[in-house]
Protein backbone atom coordinates (compact mmCIF):
# COMPACT_ATOMS: atom_id res chain seq x y z
CA UNK A 1 0.00 0.00 0.00
CA UNK A 2 1.32 3.42 -0.97
CA UNK A 3 1.21 5.66 2.17
CA UNK A 4 1.21 8.88 0.15
CA UNK A 5 -1.76 7.80 -1.93
CA UNK A 6 -3.62 6.72 1.20
CA UNK A 7 -3.11 10.11 2.84
CA UNK A 8 -4.50 11.93 -0.19
CA UNK A 9 -7.71 9.92 0.12
CA UNK A 10 -8.35 10.96 3.73
CA UNK A 11 -11.79 12.37 4.35
CA UNK A 12 -12.59 15.92 5.32
CA UNK A 13 -13.03 14.78 8.90
CA UNK A 14 -9.57 13.21 9.02
CA UNK A 15 -8.02 16.39 7.67
CA UNK A 16 -9.87 18.49 10.22
CA UNK A 17 -9.06 16.21 13.15
CA UNK A 18 -5.42 15.79 12.15
CA UNK A 19 -4.52 19.14 13.67
CA UNK A 20 -5.89 18.22 17.09
CA UNK A 21 -5.08 14.53 17.26
CA UNK A 22 -2.93 13.44 14.32
CA UNK A 23 -3.03 9.79 13.34
CA UNK A 24 0.18 7.94 12.65
CA UNK A 25 0.79 6.34 9.26
CA UNK A 26 -0.30 2.91 10.43
CA UNK A 27 -3.62 4.29 11.72
CA UNK A 28 -4.22 6.14 8.42
CA UNK A 29 -3.66 2.90 6.53
CA UNK A 30 -5.97 1.01 8.87
CA UNK A 31 -8.73 3.63 8.55
CA UNK A 32 -8.43 3.55 4.75
CA UNK A 33 -8.63 -0.24 4.73
CA UNK A 34 -11.68 -0.23 7.03
CA UNK A 35 -13.41 2.33 4.79
CA UNK A 36 -12.85 0.41 1.58
CA UNK A 37 -13.83 -2.87 3.27
CA UNK A 38 -17.11 -1.38 4.54
CA UNK A 39 -18.05 0.39 1.30
CA UNK A 40 -17.00 -2.54 -0.87
CA UNK A 41 -19.20 -4.84 1.20
CA UNK A 42 -22.14 -2.45 0.87
CA UNK A 43 -21.58 -2.10 -2.88
CA UNK A 44 -21.63 -5.88 -3.35
CA UNK A 45 -24.75 -6.44 -1.24
CA UNK A 46 -26.61 -3.58 -2.96
CA UNK A 47 -25.87 -4.87 -6.48
CA UNK A 48 -29.24 -6.71 -6.75
CA UNK A 49 -31.06 -3.49 -5.80
CA UNK A 50 -29.05 -1.60 -8.42
CA UNK A 51 -30.29 -4.06 -11.05
CA UNK A 52 -33.92 -4.23 -9.88
CA UNK A 53 -34.52 -0.48 -9.31
CA UNK A 54 -34.36 0.53 -13.03
CA UNK A 55 -36.64 -2.38 -13.93
CA UNK A 56 -39.25 -1.06 -11.49
CA UNK A 57 -39.31 2.14 -13.54
CA UNK A 58 -40.70 0.30 -16.60
CA UNK A 59 -44.36 0.33 -15.47
CA UNK A 60 -43.97 3.96 -14.37
CA UNK A 61 -42.49 5.47 -17.53
CA UNK A 62 -43.00 3.02 -20.40
CA UNK A 63 -46.56 4.19 -20.97
CA UNK A 64 -45.62 7.88 -20.82
CA UNK A 65 -45.11 9.63 -24.16
CA UNK A 66 -41.35 10.13 -23.94
CA UNK A 67 -40.43 8.98 -27.42
CA UNK A 68 -37.30 6.86 -27.26
CA UNK A 69 -35.99 8.64 -24.16
CA UNK A 70 -37.00 5.92 -21.73
CA UNK A 71 -35.49 3.12 -23.82
CA UNK A 72 -32.28 5.09 -24.31
CA UNK A 73 -32.16 5.80 -20.58
CA UNK A 74 -32.79 2.13 -19.77
CA UNK A 75 -29.98 1.09 -22.13
CA UNK A 76 -27.59 3.59 -20.56
CA UNK A 77 -28.56 2.29 -17.12
CA UNK A 78 -27.87 -1.30 -18.20
CA UNK A 79 -24.39 -0.33 -19.40
CA UNK A 80 -23.75 1.67 -16.19
CA UNK A 81 -24.84 -1.25 -14.00
CA UNK A 82 -22.56 -3.66 -15.90
CA UNK A 83 -19.62 -1.26 -15.54
CA UNK A 84 -20.43 -0.91 -11.83
CA UNK A 85 -20.49 -4.70 -11.35
CA UNK A 86 -17.15 -5.04 -13.17
CA UNK A 87 -15.48 -2.28 -11.12
CA UNK A 88 -16.81 -3.59 -7.79
CA UNK A 89 -15.66 -7.13 -8.59
CA UNK A 90 -12.20 -5.86 -9.59
CA UNK A 91 -11.56 -4.32 -6.16
CA UNK A 92 -9.00 -6.27 -4.11
CA UNK A 93 -8.69 -5.25 -0.48
CA UNK A 94 -4.94 -5.90 -0.47
CA UNK A 95 -4.42 -3.51 -3.41
CA UNK A 96 -3.41 0.13 -3.15
CA UNK A 97 -6.15 1.97 -1.20
CA UNK A 98 -6.21 4.99 -3.52
CA UNK A 99 -6.67 2.73 -6.53
CA UNK A 100 -9.59 0.99 -4.82
CA UNK A 101 -11.19 4.31 -3.89
CA UNK A 102 -11.00 5.48 -7.52
CA UNK A 103 -12.64 2.28 -8.76
CA UNK A 104 -15.42 2.56 -6.19
CA UNK A 105 -15.99 6.26 -6.91
CA UNK A 106 -16.42 5.51 -10.61
CA UNK A 107 -18.64 2.50 -9.87
CA UNK A 108 -21.16 4.45 -7.79
CA UNK A 109 -20.83 7.71 -9.74
CA UNK A 110 -21.58 6.23 -13.15
CA UNK A 111 -24.87 4.71 -11.95
CA UNK A 112 -26.09 7.86 -10.18
CA UNK A 113 -25.09 9.88 -13.27
CA UNK A 114 -27.64 7.87 -15.28
CA UNK A 115 -30.21 8.35 -12.50
CA UNK A 116 -29.43 12.06 -12.75
CA UNK A 117 -29.99 12.03 -16.53
CA UNK A 118 -33.48 10.80 -15.76
CA UNK A 119 -34.39 14.38 -14.77
CA UNK A 120 -33.73 15.51 -18.32
CA UNK A 121 -34.96 12.41 -20.18
CA UNK A 122 -37.91 11.07 -18.16
CA UNK A 123 -39.59 14.10 -16.60
CA UNK A 124 -41.56 16.38 -18.98
CA UNK A 125 -41.44 19.94 -17.73
CA UNK A 126 -45.19 20.36 -17.17
CA UNK A 127 -45.99 16.94 -15.73
CA UNK A 128 -46.21 17.33 -11.93
CA UNK A 129 -47.02 13.65 -11.41
CA UNK A 130 -43.84 12.42 -13.09
CA UNK A 131 -41.93 15.18 -11.33
CA UNK A 132 -43.13 14.02 -7.92
CA UNK A 133 -42.49 10.35 -8.77
CA UNK A 134 -38.94 11.06 -9.86
CA UNK A 135 -38.39 13.31 -6.84
CA UNK A 136 -39.28 10.38 -4.57
CA UNK A 137 -37.00 8.06 -6.57
CA UNK A 138 -34.14 10.57 -6.39
CA UNK A 139 -34.43 11.07 -2.64
CA UNK A 140 -34.70 7.31 -2.04
CA UNK A 141 -31.52 6.67 -4.03
CA UNK A 142 -29.78 9.49 -2.14
CA UNK A 143 -30.63 8.27 1.36
CA UNK A 144 -29.93 4.61 0.59
CA UNK A 145 -26.53 5.51 -0.84
CA UNK A 146 -25.76 7.76 2.10
CA UNK A 147 -25.81 4.74 4.44
CA UNK A 148 -23.19 2.93 2.41
CA UNK A 149 -20.87 5.65 1.12
CA UNK A 150 -20.78 8.58 3.53
CA UNK A 151 -17.88 6.97 5.46
CA UNK A 152 -15.62 8.38 2.73
CA UNK A 153 -16.33 11.96 1.76
CA UNK A 154 -15.06 11.76 -1.82
CA UNK A 155 -17.06 8.61 -2.54
CA UNK A 156 -20.23 10.16 -1.15
CA UNK A 157 -19.71 13.22 -3.36
CA UNK A 158 -19.12 10.94 -6.36
CA UNK A 159 -22.43 9.29 -5.52
CA UNK A 160 -24.58 12.33 -4.65
CA UNK A 161 -23.44 15.16 -6.95
CA UNK A 162 -24.29 13.52 -10.34
CA UNK A 163 -27.75 12.82 -8.96
CA UNK A 164 -28.47 16.36 -7.79
CA UNK A 165 -26.59 18.50 -10.32
CA UNK A 166 -28.94 17.42 -13.12
CA UNK A 167 -31.93 18.08 -10.85
CA UNK A 168 -30.59 21.61 -10.38
CA UNK A 169 -30.26 21.98 -14.17
CA UNK A 170 -33.83 20.72 -14.53
CA UNK A 171 -35.04 23.38 -12.07
CA UNK A 172 -33.19 26.12 -13.95
CA UNK A 173 -34.49 25.02 -17.35
CA UNK A 174 -38.11 24.60 -16.20
CA UNK A 175 -38.16 27.33 -13.55
CA UNK A 176 -41.46 28.77 -14.80
CA UNK A 177 -43.26 25.43 -14.34
CA UNK A 178 -41.52 24.17 -11.14
CA UNK A 179 -43.47 23.58 -7.94
CA UNK A 180 -41.10 25.64 -5.85
CA UNK A 181 -41.95 24.34 -2.35
CA UNK A 182 -41.13 20.82 -3.56
CA UNK A 183 -37.95 21.93 -5.34
CA UNK A 184 -36.75 23.91 -2.34
CA UNK A 185 -37.61 21.00 -0.04
CA UNK A 186 -35.59 18.68 -2.28
CA UNK A 187 -32.56 20.95 -2.15
CA UNK A 188 -32.91 21.31 1.62
CA UNK A 189 -33.06 17.53 1.87
CA UNK A 190 -29.91 17.35 -0.21
CA UNK A 191 -28.18 19.78 2.14
CA UNK A 192 -29.38 17.84 5.18
CA UNK A 193 -28.22 14.59 3.57
CA UNK A 194 -24.76 16.07 3.11
CA UNK A 195 -24.73 17.25 6.71
CA UNK A 196 -26.02 13.94 8.04
CA UNK A 197 -23.44 12.17 5.91
CA UNK A 198 -20.72 14.35 7.41
CA UNK A 199 -21.78 13.60 10.97
CA UNK A 200 -22.23 9.92 10.16
CA UNK A 201 -18.72 9.89 8.71
CA UNK A 202 -17.40 11.63 11.79
CA UNK A 203 -19.12 9.20 14.13
CA UNK A 204 -17.98 6.20 12.09
CA UNK A 205 -14.36 7.32 12.02
CA UNK A 206 -14.41 8.03 15.75
CA UNK A 207 -15.72 4.54 16.40
CA UNK A 208 -12.98 3.04 14.21
CA UNK A 209 -10.33 5.16 15.95
CA UNK A 210 -11.73 4.08 19.32
CA UNK A 211 -11.62 0.45 18.22
CA UNK A 212 -7.99 0.81 17.17
CA UNK A 213 -7.22 2.45 20.49
CA UNK A 214 -8.95 -0.35 22.41
CA UNK A 215 -7.10 -2.96 20.37
CA UNK A 216 -3.83 -1.20 21.11
CA UNK A 217 -4.66 -1.01 24.81
CA UNK A 218 -5.63 -4.69 24.75
CA UNK A 219 -2.32 -5.58 23.10
CA UNK A 220 -0.48 -3.53 25.72
CA UNK A 221 -2.47 -5.27 28.45
CA UNK A 222 -1.59 -8.68 27.02
CA UNK A 223 2.07 -7.69 26.80
CA UNK A 224 2.07 -6.38 30.37
CA UNK A 225 0.35 -9.55 31.53
CA UNK A 226 2.93 -11.67 29.72
CA UNK A 227 5.73 -9.62 31.27
CA UNK A 228 4.11 -10.04 34.69
CA UNK A 229 3.71 -13.80 34.21
CA UNK A 230 7.30 -14.09 32.96
CA UNK A 231 8.53 -12.07 35.94
CA UNK A 232 6.57 -14.28 38.31
CA UNK A 233 8.00 -17.42 36.70
CA UNK A 234 11.50 -15.94 36.81
CA UNK A 235 10.98 -15.04 40.47
CA UNK A 236 9.87 -18.59 41.31
CA UNK A 237 12.80 -20.07 39.39
CA UNK A 238 15.21 -17.67 41.07
CA UNK A 239 13.88 -18.52 44.51
CA UNK A 240 14.06 -22.23 43.73
CA UNK A 241 17.60 -22.04 42.31
CA UNK A 242 19.01 -19.67 44.91
CA UNK A 243 17.43 -21.50 47.83
CA UNK A 244 18.66 -24.85 46.47
CA UNK A 245 22.27 -23.69 46.46
CA UNK A 246 21.90 -22.34 50.00
CA UNK A 247 19.84 -25.21 51.43
CA UNK A 248 22.39 -27.88 50.55
CA UNK A 249 25.15 -26.71 52.93
CA UNK A 250 22.52 -25.66 55.50
CA UNK A 251 21.24 -29.25 55.61
CA UNK A 252 24.73 -30.51 56.43
CA UNK A 253 25.08 -27.87 59.16
CA UNK A 254 21.73 -28.89 60.68
CA UNK A 255 22.68 -32.55 60.84
CA UNK A 256 26.18 -31.99 62.24
CA UNK A 257 24.76 -29.62 64.86
CA UNK A 258 22.41 -32.41 66.00
CA UNK A 259 25.26 -34.90 66.14
CA UNK A 260 27.27 -32.75 68.54
CA UNK A 261 27.25 -33.92 72.14
CA UNK A 262 26.65 -30.94 74.43
CA UNK A 263 27.95 -32.85 77.42
CA UNK A 264 31.44 -32.76 75.95
CA UNK A 265 31.45 -28.96 75.61
CA UNK A 266 32.66 -26.40 78.12
CA UNK A 267 30.16 -23.84 79.39
CA UNK A 268 31.55 -21.07 77.17
CA UNK A 269 31.50 -23.39 74.16
CA UNK A 270 27.99 -24.54 75.05
CA UNK A 271 26.80 -20.91 75.17
CA UNK A 272 28.34 -20.22 71.77
CA UNK A 273 26.82 -23.43 70.42
CA UNK A 274 23.32 -22.49 71.63
CA UNK A 275 23.59 -19.04 70.03
CA UNK A 276 24.77 -20.64 66.80
CA UNK A 277 21.84 -23.07 66.85
CA UNK A 278 19.45 -20.17 67.46
CA UNK A 279 20.84 -18.38 64.39
CA UNK A 280 20.49 -21.57 62.36
CA UNK A 281 16.86 -21.81 63.50
CA UNK A 282 16.24 -18.30 62.14
CA UNK A 283 17.80 -19.29 58.82
CA UNK A 284 15.67 -22.43 58.71
CA UNK A 285 12.55 -20.31 59.20
CA UNK A 286 13.56 -18.08 56.28
CA UNK A 287 14.08 -21.08 54.03
CA UNK A 288 10.74 -22.56 55.08
CA UNK A 289 9.03 -19.26 54.29
CA UNK A 290 10.48 -19.36 50.77
CA UNK A 291 9.27 -22.95 50.53
CA UNK A 292 5.74 -21.90 51.47
CA UNK A 293 5.78 -19.38 48.59
CA UNK A 294 6.96 -22.08 46.17
CA UNK A 295 4.21 -24.43 47.32
CA UNK A 296 1.57 -21.77 46.77
CA UNK A 297 3.03 -20.95 43.33
CA UNK A 298 2.78 -24.64 42.42
CA UNK A 299 -1.03 -24.50 42.88
CA UNK A 300 -1.15 -27.93 44.47
CA UNK A 301 -4.62 -29.18 45.30
CA UNK A 302 -5.84 -28.34 48.77
CA UNK A 303 -6.13 -31.35 51.08
CA UNK A 304 -9.60 -30.93 52.58
CA UNK A 305 -10.48 -33.34 55.37
CA UNK A 306 -12.16 -33.32 58.77
CA UNK A 307 -9.69 -32.56 61.58
CA UNK A 308 -9.75 -31.65 65.25
CA UNK A 309 -8.64 -28.12 66.07
CA UNK A 310 -7.17 -29.34 69.37
CA UNK A 311 -4.89 -31.79 67.57
CA UNK A 312 -3.61 -29.10 65.22
CA UNK A 313 -2.91 -26.72 68.11
CA UNK A 314 -1.19 -29.42 70.16
CA UNK A 315 1.53 -29.51 67.51
CA UNK A 316 1.98 -25.71 67.48
CA UNK A 317 1.42 -24.42 71.00
CA UNK A 318 4.57 -25.82 72.70
CA UNK A 319 6.98 -24.13 70.29
CA UNK A 320 5.24 -20.75 70.50
CA UNK A 321 4.84 -21.00 74.28
CA UNK A 322 8.61 -21.40 74.51
CA UNK A 323 9.16 -18.32 72.33
CA UNK A 324 6.70 -16.33 74.46
CA UNK A 325 8.41 -17.40 77.68
CA UNK A 326 11.78 -16.31 76.31
CA UNK A 327 10.34 -12.81 75.66
CA UNK A 328 8.32 -12.82 78.91
CA UNK A 329 5.04 -12.52 77.03
CA UNK A 330 1.65 -13.91 78.03
CA UNK A 331 0.38 -16.20 75.26
CA UNK A 332 -3.25 -17.34 75.52
CA UNK A 333 -5.38 -19.60 73.32
CA UNK A 334 -9.17 -19.41 73.61
CA UNK A 335 -11.16 -21.96 71.63
CA UNK A 336 -13.86 -24.56 71.72
CA UNK A 337 -13.11 -28.18 70.89
CA UNK A 338 -14.09 -27.69 67.27
CA UNK A 339 -14.19 -30.34 64.60
CA UNK A 340 -13.43 -28.62 61.29
CA UNK A 341 -13.66 -29.54 57.62
CA UNK A 342 -10.82 -27.88 55.71
CA UNK A 343 -7.08 -28.00 55.05
CA UNK A 344 -5.35 -28.29 58.43
CA UNK A 345 -1.90 -27.65 56.96
CA UNK A 346 -2.94 -24.37 55.34
CA UNK A 347 -4.72 -23.22 58.51
CA UNK A 348 -1.59 -24.11 60.45
CA UNK A 349 0.52 -21.98 58.09
CA UNK A 350 -1.81 -19.01 58.57
CA UNK A 351 -1.59 -19.30 62.36
CA UNK A 352 2.19 -19.82 62.34
CA UNK A 353 2.79 -16.69 60.27
CA UNK A 354 0.42 -14.50 62.29
CA UNK A 355 1.80 -15.75 65.61
CA UNK A 356 5.40 -15.36 64.46
CA UNK A 357 4.73 -11.73 63.54
CA UNK A 358 2.88 -11.07 66.79
CA UNK A 359 5.72 -12.43 68.93
CA UNK A 360 8.30 -10.67 66.76
CA UNK A 361 6.75 -7.22 67.21
CA UNK A 362 5.58 -7.49 70.82
CA UNK A 363 8.05 -6.59 73.57
CA UNK A 364 5.70 -6.49 76.54
CA UNK A 365 2.19 -7.55 77.39
CA UNK A 366 0.84 -10.55 75.58
CA UNK A 367 -0.82 -12.22 72.63
CA UNK A 368 -4.30 -13.71 72.53
CA UNK A 369 -5.45 -16.22 69.94
CA UNK A 370 -9.21 -16.77 69.62
CA UNK A 371 -11.08 -19.34 67.56
CA UNK A 372 -14.83 -18.87 67.16
CA UNK A 373 -17.82 -20.04 65.15
CA UNK A 374 -19.41 -17.46 62.85
CA UNK A 375 -22.34 -18.77 60.83
CA UNK A 376 -20.83 -22.22 60.79
CA UNK A 377 -17.39 -21.06 59.61
CA UNK A 378 -14.16 -20.98 61.60
CA UNK A 379 -12.94 -17.49 62.54
CA UNK A 380 -9.45 -16.84 63.91
CA UNK A 381 -8.16 -13.65 65.57
CA UNK A 382 -4.62 -12.94 66.73
CA UNK A 383 -4.36 -9.87 68.99
CA UNK A 384 -1.07 -8.51 70.34
CA UNK A 385 0.03 -5.55 72.47
CA UNK A 386 2.96 -4.71 70.23
CA UNK A 387 4.13 -1.62 68.40
CA UNK A 388 1.28 -1.55 65.88
CA UNK A 389 1.49 -0.98 62.14
CA UNK A 390 1.98 2.54 60.75
CA UNK A 391 -1.11 3.68 58.86
CA UNK A 392 0.90 4.49 55.73
CA UNK A 393 2.14 0.88 55.62
CA UNK A 394 -1.30 -0.78 55.75
CA UNK A 395 -1.86 -0.84 51.94
CA UNK A 396 1.41 -2.74 51.47
CA UNK A 397 1.58 -5.28 54.32
CA UNK A 398 0.34 -8.19 52.16
CA UNK A 399 2.88 -7.56 49.40
CA UNK A 400 5.84 -9.90 49.03
CA UNK A 401 9.08 -8.84 50.76
CA UNK A 402 7.49 -5.75 52.29
CA UNK A 403 9.09 -4.70 55.57
CA UNK A 404 8.10 -1.52 57.37
CA UNK A 405 10.94 0.92 57.99
CA UNK A 406 9.71 1.32 61.55
CA UNK A 407 9.83 -2.38 62.33
CA UNK A 408 12.86 -3.30 60.21
CA UNK A 409 15.33 -3.23 63.15
CA UNK A 410 13.15 -5.79 64.99
CA UNK A 411 12.67 -8.04 61.98
CA UNK A 412 14.89 -10.97 61.08
CA UNK A 413 12.55 -12.33 58.41
CA UNK A 414 11.99 -11.81 54.70
CA UNK A 415 8.70 -9.91 54.73
CA UNK A 416 6.73 -12.83 53.30
CA UNK A 417 4.58 -13.93 56.25
CA UNK A 418 1.49 -11.81 55.59
CA UNK A 419 1.82 -12.37 51.85
CA UNK A 420 1.59 -16.12 52.50
CA UNK A 421 -1.44 -15.59 54.76
CA UNK A 422 -3.17 -13.52 52.07
CA UNK A 423 -2.41 -16.08 49.34
CA UNK A 424 -3.69 -19.00 51.39
CA UNK A 425 -6.94 -17.24 52.25
CA UNK A 426 -7.47 -16.10 48.67
CA UNK A 427 -6.97 -19.67 47.52
CA UNK A 428 -9.37 -21.16 50.08
CA UNK A 429 -12.05 -18.47 49.83
CA UNK A 430 -11.25 -16.74 53.14
CA UNK A 431 -10.49 -13.14 54.06
CA UNK A 432 -8.15 -11.31 56.41
CA UNK A 433 -8.53 -7.86 57.95
CA UNK A 434 -6.46 -5.82 60.37
CA UNK A 435 -7.06 -3.26 63.11
CA UNK A 436 -4.05 -1.52 64.55
CA UNK A 437 -3.09 1.39 66.79
CA UNK A 438 0.37 2.80 67.22
CA UNK A 439 2.13 1.51 70.37
CA UNK A 440 -1.05 -0.28 71.51
CA UNK A 441 -1.17 -3.34 69.33
CA UNK A 442 -2.66 -5.08 66.32
CA UNK A 443 -5.55 -7.47 65.75
CA UNK A 444 -5.65 -9.70 62.67
CA UNK A 445 -9.06 -11.25 61.97
CA UNK A 446 -9.21 -14.25 59.66
CA UNK A 447 -12.57 -15.43 58.33
CA UNK A 448 -11.93 -18.86 56.86
CA UNK A 449 -14.15 -20.81 54.51
CA UNK A 450 -13.62 -23.92 56.67
CA UNK A 451 -16.85 -25.40 57.98
CA UNK A 452 -17.25 -26.27 61.66
CA UNK A 453 -18.85 -29.71 61.61
CA UNK A 454 -19.23 -30.26 65.34
CA UNK A 455 -17.79 -30.15 68.84
CA UNK A 456 -15.53 -32.79 70.34
CA UNK A 457 -16.28 -34.00 73.85
CA UNK A 458 -13.51 -32.57 76.03
CA UNK A 459 -13.47 -35.85 77.95
CA UNK A 460 -12.36 -37.74 74.83
CA UNK A 461 -8.94 -39.23 75.51
CA UNK A 462 -6.04 -37.66 73.61
CA UNK A 463 -4.70 -39.26 70.50
CA UNK A 464 -1.90 -41.77 70.84
CA UNK A 465 1.62 -40.39 71.00
CA UNK A 466 3.69 -40.50 67.84
CA UNK A 467 5.62 -43.64 67.15
CA UNK A 468 9.02 -43.68 68.81
CA UNK A 469 12.14 -43.93 66.73
CA UNK A 470 13.49 -47.46 66.30
CA UNK A 471 16.02 -48.35 68.91
CA UNK A 472 19.43 -49.80 68.15
CA UNK A 473 19.32 -53.52 67.68
CA UNK A 474 21.41 -56.32 66.31
CA UNK A 475 22.07 -56.25 62.58
CA UNK A 476 20.89 -59.84 62.36
CA UNK A 477 17.56 -59.15 64.04
CA UNK A 478 14.50 -59.68 61.89
CA UNK A 479 13.20 -56.30 63.23
CA UNK A 480 16.12 -54.37 61.77
CA UNK A 481 15.00 -51.97 59.07
CA UNK A 482 16.96 -51.54 55.86
CA UNK A 483 17.31 -47.96 54.71
CA UNK A 484 18.57 -47.05 51.23
CA UNK A 485 20.12 -43.59 50.92
CA UNK A 486 21.02 -41.72 47.71
CA UNK A 487 22.96 -38.51 48.33
CA UNK A 488 25.71 -36.98 46.18
CA UNK A 489 27.01 -34.74 48.97
CA UNK A 490 29.64 -36.83 50.77
CA UNK A 491 29.37 -34.80 53.99
CA UNK A 492 25.60 -35.31 54.12
CA UNK A 493 25.92 -39.02 53.31
CA UNK A 494 28.40 -39.41 56.17
CA UNK A 495 26.05 -37.61 58.56
CA UNK A 496 23.07 -39.77 57.52
CA UNK A 497 25.04 -42.98 58.00
CA UNK A 498 26.33 -41.90 61.41
CA UNK A 499 22.89 -41.02 62.68
CA UNK A 500 20.77 -43.85 61.26
CA UNK A 501 23.28 -46.57 62.14
CA UNK A 502 23.16 -45.21 65.66
CA UNK A 503 19.38 -45.59 65.55
CA UNK A 504 19.66 -49.27 64.65
CA UNK A 505 19.05 -49.15 60.92
CA UNK A 506 20.96 -51.10 58.33
CA UNK A 507 22.03 -48.28 56.04
CA UNK A 508 22.75 -48.93 52.37
CA UNK A 509 24.55 -45.99 50.74
CA UNK A 510 23.50 -46.30 47.09
CA UNK A 511 25.72 -44.74 44.39
CA UNK A 512 24.11 -42.55 41.76
CA UNK A 513 26.46 -43.61 38.97
CA UNK A 514 24.40 -46.02 36.85
CA UNK A 515 27.11 -48.69 36.53
CA UNK A 516 27.89 -48.59 40.25
CA UNK A 517 24.17 -48.44 41.02
CA UNK A 518 23.56 -51.72 39.16
CA UNK A 519 26.43 -53.39 41.02
CA UNK A 520 25.20 -52.11 44.38
CA UNK A 521 21.79 -53.73 43.86
CA UNK A 522 23.50 -57.14 44.04
CA UNK A 523 24.59 -56.47 47.64
CA UNK A 524 21.27 -55.19 49.04
CA UNK A 525 19.03 -57.96 50.46
CA UNK A 526 15.95 -55.77 50.89
CA UNK A 527 14.79 -52.21 51.39
CA UNK A 528 12.16 -50.90 53.81
CA UNK A 529 12.55 -47.23 52.97
CA UNK A 530 14.29 -45.09 50.34
CA UNK A 531 15.73 -41.71 51.27
CA UNK A 532 17.05 -39.74 48.30
CA UNK A 533 18.22 -36.35 47.17
CA UNK A 534 16.57 -35.00 44.01
CA UNK A 535 19.49 -33.73 41.97
CA UNK A 536 21.94 -36.59 41.47
CA UNK A 537 24.09 -35.70 38.50
CA UNK A 538 22.82 -36.94 35.13
CA UNK A 539 19.78 -38.63 36.71
CA UNK A 540 17.42 -37.46 39.41
CA UNK A 541 16.11 -39.10 42.55
CA UNK A 542 12.83 -40.03 40.86
CA UNK A 543 14.68 -42.20 38.34
CA UNK A 544 16.58 -44.15 41.02
CA UNK A 545 13.50 -44.55 43.25
CA UNK A 546 11.57 -46.04 40.34
CA UNK A 547 14.49 -48.41 39.59
CA UNK A 548 14.66 -49.53 43.24
CA UNK A 549 10.91 -50.04 43.44
CA UNK A 550 11.00 -52.12 40.28
CA UNK A 551 13.83 -54.23 41.72
CA UNK A 552 12.46 -54.77 45.23
CA UNK A 553 8.86 -53.71 45.74
CA UNK A 554 6.63 -51.14 44.06
CA UNK A 555 5.12 -50.22 47.42
CA UNK A 556 8.39 -49.30 49.14
CA UNK A 557 7.81 -45.93 50.83
CA UNK A 558 10.17 -43.30 49.50
CA UNK A 559 11.01 -39.74 50.35
CA UNK A 560 13.05 -37.14 48.54
CA UNK A 561 14.89 -34.75 50.83
CA UNK A 562 15.70 -31.90 48.53
CA UNK A 563 16.76 -28.30 48.34
CA UNK A 564 14.85 -27.95 45.06
CA UNK A 565 11.60 -26.04 45.58
CA UNK A 566 10.59 -25.52 41.94
CA UNK A 567 6.74 -25.50 41.82
CA UNK A 568 6.48 -28.04 39.01
CA UNK A 569 8.45 -30.57 41.06
CA UNK A 570 5.99 -30.38 43.95
CA UNK A 571 3.22 -31.58 41.65
CA UNK A 572 5.41 -34.28 40.11
CA UNK A 573 6.37 -35.79 43.48
CA UNK A 574 2.71 -36.05 44.45
CA UNK A 575 1.76 -37.75 41.19
CA UNK A 576 4.47 -40.43 41.66
CA UNK A 577 3.55 -41.18 45.29
CA UNK A 578 6.91 -39.92 46.51
CA UNK A 579 6.85 -37.88 49.68
CA UNK A 580 9.09 -34.89 50.02
CA UNK A 581 10.96 -33.11 52.81
CA UNK A 582 12.82 -29.88 52.27
CA UNK A 583 16.30 -28.90 53.28
CA UNK A 584 17.31 -27.58 55.69
CA UNK A 585 15.68 -29.99 58.16
CA UNK A 586 17.04 -31.34 61.41
CA UNK A 587 17.96 -35.01 61.38
CA UNK A 588 15.59 -35.87 64.24
CA UNK A 589 12.62 -34.72 62.14
CA UNK A 590 13.82 -36.79 59.19
CA UNK A 591 14.25 -39.84 61.42
CA UNK A 592 10.80 -39.34 62.94
CA UNK A 593 9.31 -39.14 59.46
CA UNK A 594 11.07 -42.32 58.30
CA UNK A 595 9.99 -44.21 61.42
CA UNK A 596 6.36 -43.17 60.98
CA UNK A 597 6.30 -44.43 57.39
CA UNK A 598 7.99 -47.75 58.14
CA UNK A 599 5.90 -48.38 61.24
pLDDT tens per residue, range 362-418: 989 999 999 999 999 999 999 999 888 888 888 888 887 676 665 544 455 566 778
487 contacts 540 by C-beta, under 8 angstroms: no
Q: 219 or 456: whose pLDDT is higher?
A: 219
Distance CA(530)–CA(581), nearest Å, equals 13
pLDDT tens per residue, range 33-63: 888 888 888 889 888 988 988 888 888 777 7
Q: 306 or 289: whose pLDDT is higher?
A: 306
pLDDT at 96 over 90: no
Give the angle subtended at the CA of 248 by the CAs of 242 and 249, to the nearest 5°. Answer: 110
Distances (CA, A) of 266 to 2, 261, 263, 272: 90, 11, 8, 10
Residues 6+ apart with CB under 8 A from 321: 331
What letter does residue 20 receive in the DSSP assignment?
Answer: T
Q: What percent of the chain has pLDDT over 90?
A: 20
Domains of the chain listed by start with CATH number: 3-222 (no CATH), 303-455 (3.30.565.10), 482-598 (3.40.50.2300)
3-state secondary structure of 329: coil
> Average pLDDT in the 203-217 region?
80
pLDDT value, residue 453: 92
Distance CA(133)–CA(61), nearest Å, equals 10
pLDDT value, residue 333: 93
Q: What percent of the chain has pLDDT over 70?
A: 82
Phi-psi bin for 577: left (phi > 0), alpha (psi -120 to 50), beta? left
pLDDT at 426 over 60: yes
Give the CB-side neighbour count of residue 68, counting CA atoms within 13 A.
3
| DSSP secondary structure string for all residues of 484-521 | EEE-S-HHHHHHHHHHHHHTT-EEEE--SSHHHHHHHH
pLDDT at 263 over 90: no
Consecutive H or E run containing 444: strand 441-455
> Average pLDDT in the 543-571 region?
83
pTM greater than 0.75 (yes/no): no
Distance CA(512)–CA(487), nearest Å, equals 8
Task: Single out the residue of 503, 554, 510, 557 nearest to residue 530, CA to CA.
Answer: 557
Q: 263 or 14: whose pLDDT is higher?
A: 263
Distances (CA, A) of 581 to 37, 120, 257, 416, 545: 63, 97, 19, 21, 15
Consecutive H or E run containing 297: helix 267-298
Amino acid sequence: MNPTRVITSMSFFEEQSASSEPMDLRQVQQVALEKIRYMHGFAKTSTPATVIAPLLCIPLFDSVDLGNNFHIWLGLMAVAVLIRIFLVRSIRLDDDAHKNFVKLNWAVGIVTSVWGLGWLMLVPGMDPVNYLIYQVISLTVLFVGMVGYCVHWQTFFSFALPLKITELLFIIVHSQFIIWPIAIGSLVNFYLALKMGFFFSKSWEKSIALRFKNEKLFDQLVQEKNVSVAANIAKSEFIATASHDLRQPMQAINIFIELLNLNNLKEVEKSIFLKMRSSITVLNKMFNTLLDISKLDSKLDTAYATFELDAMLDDLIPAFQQLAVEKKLDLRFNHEHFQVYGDANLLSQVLINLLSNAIQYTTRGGITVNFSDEQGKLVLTVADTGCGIPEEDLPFIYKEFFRSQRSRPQHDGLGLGLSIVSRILHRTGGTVSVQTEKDKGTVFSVHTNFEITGLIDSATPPAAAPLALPQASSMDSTETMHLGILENDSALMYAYIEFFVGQGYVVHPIPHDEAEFTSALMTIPKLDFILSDYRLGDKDGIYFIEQLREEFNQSIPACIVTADTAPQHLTLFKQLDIEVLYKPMDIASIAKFVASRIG
